[in-house]
């Protein structure tokens, strides 16, 4: 897949504004376009926005105007893009919303270590609401595990009928959190329940249909009642907003970070 080329600033605010930040978007699909629109509407501290699209290159010219990058490209191109970026911009700060590259996690960590002025934060989901949802269900699973003789735990997710993967990455993360905090469960079953579910199985099912942006639910069920904890995305702006805020958060940092580092230190601004 070709690497990616510089384009003129999409927008600029007054040059009189202080403490301005330039951002380059690596990848300009649906998420890249939403991020760009949100920057224009809600982030006057971001002066210029540049695009490196799928048929463009990462080189000295395309990265000269920014130190801050947001990557929503393709997993097959991400690691090589990062190597190119650090070759010409060893102090780059980058937010990675691209998924599917985690088999190369150690290699990416080494790249950050080799470029000590750089910073990187990654997540499969930058929605602040989703990350708080994960914290809530972790605590809930821990509490309900004390009553595992009464309550069973399981989950379900819904997405639009054009979604390529099933279960979603967010669903997998949700299921892993439930499993980690439910010691009576030993494995996750994502497929159809073609046979009786073992009591030690955590069943997390999926539905694809319509235009649903994303719904993820955790259930704690007994003979007497059901407790349901659900996150429903109304649009994709929540994912974009978290990515932009994470970029501004790492602007003056160095090192390797996960979304938990950002969420745990989040301050209203």
The answer to whether residues 170 and 130 touch, using CB atoms and an 8 Å cutoff, is yes
Mean pLDDT of the chain: 89
Band of residue 7 on the pLDDT scale cut at 50, 70, 90:
very low
Band of residue 25 on the pLDDT scale cut at 50, 70, 90:
very high
Whether 231 sits among the annotated catalytic residues: the reply is no
Band of residue 19 on the pLDDT scale cut at 50, 70, 90:
low
pTM above 0.85, yes or no: no
CA distance 258 to 124: 10
Band of residue 166 on the pLDDT scale cut at 50, 70, 90:
confident
| pLDDT score of 15 | 36
pLDDT mean over 173-202? 91
CATH classification number, 128-232, choose in 3.30.460.10, 3.20.20.70, 3.40.50.300, 3.30.360.10: 3.30.360.10
More confident site: 55 or 188: 188
Band of residue 2 on the pLDDT scale cut at 50, 70, 90:
very low
Ranges of each domain in the chain:
21-126+237-264, 128-232
| pLDDT score of 213 | 92
CA angle, 105 then 265 then 143, to 5°: 85
Helix extents (H) in 14-122: 30-42, 60-63, 75-88, 105-114
Above 90 in pLDDT, residue 223? yes
The answer to whether residues 154 and 193 touch, using CB atoms and an 8 Å cutoff, is no
Which listed residue (7, 163, 172, 251) is catalytic?
A: 163
pLDDT over 90 for what percent of the chain? 77
CA distance 69 to 199: 46
CA distance 187 to 30: 34
Assign residue 255 a region: left if phi > 0, alpha if psi is -120 to 50, beta otherwise?
A: left
Which range, of 2-6, 73-77, 191-195, 249-253, averages the lowest pLDDT? 2-6
The CATH superfamily label for domain 21-126+237-264 reads: NAD(P)-binding Rossmann-like Domain (3.40.50.720)
| pLDDT score of 10 | 39
pLDDT mean over 78-97? 95
Encode 137-161: b = buried (16+ Cβ within 10 Å), e = exposed.
bbebbeebbeeeeebbbbbbbbbee
| pLDDT score of 104 | 95
Q: Do domains 21-126+237-264 and 128-232 have the same CATH topology?
A: no
The answer to whether residues 131 and 263 touch, using CB atoms and an 8 Å cutoff, is yes
The encoded tokens of residue 122 equal 């990654």
pLDDT mean over 48-73? 92
pLDDT mean over 31-56? 93
Whether 159 sits among the annotated catalytic residues: the reply is yes
**The dihedral of CA 156, 239, 113, 260: what is its sign?**
negative
Which listed residue (156, 159, 185, 231) is catalytic?
A: 159
């Amino acid at each position: 897949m070709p690497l990616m080329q510089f384009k003129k600033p999409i927008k600029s605010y007054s040059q009189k504004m202080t403490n301005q930040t330039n951002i380059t978007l690596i990848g300009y699909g649906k998420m890249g376009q939403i991020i760009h629109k949100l920057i224009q509407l809600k982030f006057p501290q971001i002066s210029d926005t540049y695009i490196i699209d799928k048929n463009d290159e990462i080189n000295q010219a395309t990265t000269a105007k920014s130190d801050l990058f947001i990557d929503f490209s393709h997993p097959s191109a991400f690691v090589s893009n990062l190597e190119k970026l650090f070759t010409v911009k060893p102090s780059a700060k980058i937010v990675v919303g691209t998924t599917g590259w985690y088999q190369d996690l150690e290699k990416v960590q080494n790249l950050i270590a080799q470029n000590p002025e750089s910073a990187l934060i990654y997540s499969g989901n930058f929605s602040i609401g989703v990350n708080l949802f994960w914290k809530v269900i972790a605590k809930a699973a821990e509490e309900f595990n004390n009553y595992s003789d009464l309550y069973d735990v399981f989950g379900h997710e819904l997405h639009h009928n054009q979604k390529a993967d099933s279960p979603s990455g967010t669903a997998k993360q949700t299921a892993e959190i439930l499993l980690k905090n439910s010691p009576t469960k030993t494995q996750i079953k994502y497929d159809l329940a073609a046979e009786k579910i073992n009591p030690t199985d955590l069943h997390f099912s999926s539905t694809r249909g319509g235009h649903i942006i994303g719904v993820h639910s955790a259930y704690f069920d007994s003979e007497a009642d059901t407790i349901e904890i659900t996150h429903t995305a109304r649009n994709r702006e929540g994912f974009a907003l978290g990515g932009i805020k994470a970029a501004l958060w790492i602007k003056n940092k160095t090192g390797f970070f996960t979304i938990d580092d950002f969420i745990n230190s989040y301050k209203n601004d």
